A and B are shown apart, each in its own frame.
Chain A
């Protein structure tokens, strides 16, 4: 714990860099997953294939995936962000599909019968109702992304992982512990924040 106390500015700056990686990756990942999930939710033949492929992607060890991406994209933040986007797809798309499929069929039937276009039905009925489940997917993806983003330390991008890998190579246990503890704290805070947001979105449905 000493390292945290003696180098607060460095840890804070690495934590901010870590959060930046996570935020960029999640924003892009969600922008991809939302339309993908909407299409998959309506296409019962296509969706098992898509979810299966994303699950398979998710099971690739992160170091192996990162190694491949580095060979292709070079060192730095880019391969990390791409890896995070790919990993998050499984959890995000799953959340969108489950959320949309879980919407009360009577509300869908009523909306169609009252003259909602398919787009209005999605935007004004299905997505608002699916929001708590979609946010659940975002929460799990965020926690996983915060943890996986430590790998950035391996490929020369700044993140809390930098402390972990420097700690490992320099045999500085306190550095390693500081990086790990700070990462865990970030994950716990993000989890709590998104839980609160999910509860808020549920309250709107009551």
Chain B
């Protein structure tokens, strides 16, 4: 399946027990197959924005559209099976093997056994884990980098048109991290999956994103290609955030 488009239309989020808005007036479109990085300081709303796409967070105003359809009109569970989701904590199911983890969305979707098996092997190969060695392993027996690879493979299990990743390479050392960034970007580009990923690492964003969405205080400060952000930072905040990276 090729990538879906995503649209944020004046999205605002206010959590029930908070006094401020977590998101305010966020509007932008993501094209099919595009890879967009979301960067900004801790607490600026990156995770919240990501989670409005698969309805883990419901906007208090505005709308989120996938392929032009308001996600609120879709069944939340069906929507989430079409939208891949990978998080920093990974959350691999400890009582399942690697193959069962990667095949979980296909199995929820009711795919036949052999199609699931083929999908699992294909995805494991794409994230550079030999299916023969890793299929039957338990998550506890994986290194941090291997677990994060499996987490991304699992997110892609159901051939989603959209992939959401929340600091997916956060918990590994710098070398593994660079390798993972390159591999995963290659995978989503090969598959044509529209990808939104949150990172606090501006170098990561500059290296792998088509466009970077810079957020601050629940608003989008700038949304532009890496080169454009470096050349023409829209605000002082953006300039300071990328200062070290330009040098």
Contact = CB atoms under 8 A, between A and B. Distances in A.
A90 B94 CA distance: 28
B91 A106 contact: yes
A117 B157 CA distance: 17
A206 B77 contact: no
A129 B95 contact: yes
B187 to A, nearest CB: 18
Nearest to B78: A115
Interface stretch (B11-19, B79-87, B237-245): B79-87
A75 B80 CA distance: 56
B95 A128 contact: yes
Contact of B56 (A106, A113, A116): A113
B81 A115 contact: yes
B155 to A, nearest CB: 7
Nearest to A113: B85
Contacts of A129: 94-95
Given A114-B154, A206-B140, A109 B77 contact: no
A10 to B, nearest CB: 46
Contacts, number: 68
A120 interface: yes
Nearest to B54: A113
Chain B CB within 10 A, most for which of A110, A112, A117, A205? A110
B80 A106 contact: no
Interface string B101-126: 00011001000000000000000000
Contacts of A120: 108
B77 A116 contact: yes
A110 B90 contact: yes
A107 B94 contact: yes
B22 interface: no
B76 to A, nearest CB: 8
A113 B80 contact: yes
B87 A204 contact: no
B77 A115 contact: yes
Given A104-B91, A110-B90, 19 more contacts: A104-B94, A105-B89, A108-B91, A109-B87, A109-B91, A110-B85, A110-B87, A110-B92, A111-B93, A112-B56, A113-B54, A113-B80, A115-B80, A115-B81, A115-B108, A116-B77, A120-B108, A129-B94, A204-B95
8 contacts: A106-B89, A107-B91, A110-B85, A113-B54, A114-B81, A114-B104, A114-B105, A125-B93
| 8 closest Cβ pairs, A-B complex | A110-B91, A106-B91, A106-B89, A115-B81, A113-B85, A115-B80, A107-B91, A128-B95
